Amino acid sequence: MRICLPDFASPNTVNGVAFPDLNGKCIVVIGGTTGLGLSAARAFVLHGARVVVVGRNPASVASARQALGASALALAADAVDPATAPRAIELAVREFGGFHGLYHVAGGSGRKLGDGPLHELTDEGWRATLDLNLTSLVWSNRAAVRRFLEQGSGGSILNMGSVLGWSPSPRHFATHAYAAAKAAVVGFTKSIAASYAARNIRCNVLAPALIETPMSERATRDEAIQRFMKTKQPLDGGRIGQPADLDAAAVYFLSDASRFTTGQVLAVDGGWCVSEGQCESSSIQ
């Protein structure tokens, strides 16, 4: 028997199963003006979606608006503000006629905020890091669920996690508030996935390892970390990931191809979670 597999970039249905296709979808990306979020927004547009991207930096918002073209709108707002996600969703409904999916990417390292090893973690660092990575996500998910319930339509929520939420790497990545927040993202997502599955609201997590983004600038410039990545992320020659490495998975979760998938965590990590990673002996204290 000869089986023909479809090209991923082309919309297809085989035996009643939809392959990734976002035609007709309106998606909100919180944290969608740089890095992982912007890369995903481009992929969403390529696959037929219209998107609303949200970012804090006005310059990045303007740049994203230009890069994404007529199929996108960009909003300058802070994800930690509980009013931001409702505004973005309302914008999608008003300008594009619907709301079908949320991708929450906003977050980041709390290292400059006071996060770090537990004995160095400040009170403010703990609060700020959790607000940035967890509270903002709860607000956006709440807004999405409320809209989906109001519409009676179901929909898809994809949350950004991190392998550090369950696979620590203390030599180079000891930021304990960040790890706690990303672990909580998994628990929170699974909990709401269970609660709203009967309403056809799907909730899943993408968990990357080290990806080259503005957040990871410290790590990507550190030669010792780059050498460590050769053994910690050994896939594809042992490298730091690129934002585009997550795009296909994001398209899948926001498309009807994932209509039977909820409460799942997908690590796109170059092998991080199954590799020891070799630290240089000279760096061991």
DSSP result, 141-153: HHHHHHHHHHHT-
DSSP assignment letter at 9: T
CA distance 229 to 138: 31
* The pLDDT value given to residue 163: 97
Between 283 and 259, name the one with better pLDDT: 259
Q: Average pLDDT of 206-230?
A: 87
87-117 pLDDT per residue, tens = 999 999 999 999 999 999 999 999 999 999 9
151-155, 171-175, 211-215: range with lowest mean pLDDT: 211-215
14-18, 33-37, 93-97, 118-122: range with lowest mean pLDDT: 14-18
**Whether residue 16 has pLDDT greater than 70:** no
**Whether residue 11 has pLDDT greater than 50:** no
**In this structure, what token pair is assigned to residue 151?**
């519409």
* The pLDDT value given to residue 3: 41
The domain ranges of the chain are: 19-273
| Mean pLDDT value across the chain | 91
- Among candidate residues 103, 178, 196, 252, the one labeled active-site is 178
Confirm if 189 and 183 have CB atoms less than 8 A apart. Answer: no
Q: 267, 273, 269, 277: which is closest to 229 by C-alpha?
A: 277
* The pLDDT value given to residue 263: 98
* The pLDDT value given to residue 15: 53
CA distance 189 to 263: 6
* The pLDDT value given to residue 17: 52
Alpha carbon distance, N-terminus to C-terminus of the chain: 59
Tell me the three state secondary structure of residue 103. Answer: strand
Q: Average pLDDT of 32-48?
A: 97
Task: Report the share of the chain in percent with pLDDT over 70.
Answer: 91
Q: Which helix (H) or strand (E) holds 224?
A: helix 223-232
**Whether residue 145 has pLDDT greater than 90:** yes
Confirm if 195 and 235 have CB atoms less than 8 A apart. Answer: no
Tell me the three state secondary structure of residue 50. Answer: strand
* The pLDDT value given to residue 6: 41
Q: Average pLDDT of 198-202?
A: 98
* The pLDDT value given to residue 136: 98
DSSP assignment letter at 155: E
* 103 tagged catalytic: no
CA distance 37 to 45: 12
| Beta-bridge mates of residue 214 | none
250-268 pLDDT per residue, tens = 999 999 999 999 999 999 9
Q: Please name the fold of domain 19-273.
A: Rossmann fold (3.40.50)
Q: Average pLDDT of 73-87?
A: 98
DSSP assignment letter at 57: -
Instruction: Report the number of secondary-structure helices (H) and strands (E) in the chain.
Output: 9, 9
Q: Average pLDDT of 239-258?
A: 96
Q: 125, 89, 94: which is closest to 104 by C-alpha?
A: 89
Backbone angle region of 219, left / alpha / beta, with phi > 0 → left and psi within -120 to 50 → alpha: alpha
Task: Report the share of the chain in percent with pLDDT over 90.
Answer: 83
Tell me the three state secondary structure of residue 60. Answer: helix
**Whether residue 8 has pLDDT greater than 90:** no
3-17, 25-39, 225-239: range with lowest mean pLDDT: 3-17
CA distance 178 to 169: 13
Q: Confidence class of residue 218 from pLDDT cuts 50, 70 and 90?
A: confident
Q: Which helix (H) or strand (E) holds 109?
A: none
**In this structure, what token pair is assigned to residue 273?**
């979670």
Q: Average pLDDT of 4-10?
A: 43
Confirm if 240 and 229 have CB atoms less than 8 A apart. Answer: yes
